[in-house]
Amino acid sequence: MPNNKSRRLRKKLFLDEFAMLGFNISCSLDVKDSDEFDALLNQLVDFIETQELSIEGGGDTTLFSALIYSNRRYASATNDDIAAIKTWLDKNDVINNVTVSELIDANYGI
């Protein structure tokens, strides 16, 4: 099926050359209570924001999953961003079984 959407519409819908790429993370956690979970989550969010990324997701004291994407308009996360986040997660003692996806379309999950 041919894609005959105008450039303006592709931009508005974040399609084709305007697609924003991000990646999923998931991991198991070994935290004692919700206070420790909140502190860990705050550290993760602070690190992600220093990379000019945003995060959406959630979990509890045993599991956590999220989508990470660029916080700049029409920008995408990169493989370097994936490596930086994976390194940060792997260095933390209470985070185990880290899974990081390849880059995907952050708006449509493809």
| Angstrom distance (rounded) from CA 60 to CA 28 | 9
Q: Percent of the chain having pLDDT more than 70? A: 96
User: What integer pLDDT is reported at residue 38 of this predicted model?
Assistant: 94
| Angstrom distance (rounded) from CA 103 to CA 82 | 8
Looking at the domain that runs over 19-105, which CATH code has it been given? 3.30.70.60
Residue-range domain boundaries for the chain: 19-105
pLDDT (average), residues 15-29: 94
Contact between 71 and 34 (Cβ < 8 Å): no
User: What integer pLDDT is reported at residue 28 of this predicted model?
Assistant: 96
In one letter, which amino acid is 50? T
Backbone torsions φ then ψ of 37, nearest 5 degrees = -60, -45
User: What integer pLDDT is reported at residue 1 of this predicted model?
Assistant: 41
pLDDT (average), residues 67-86: 95
* Residue 40: pLDDT band with limits 50, 70, 90: very high
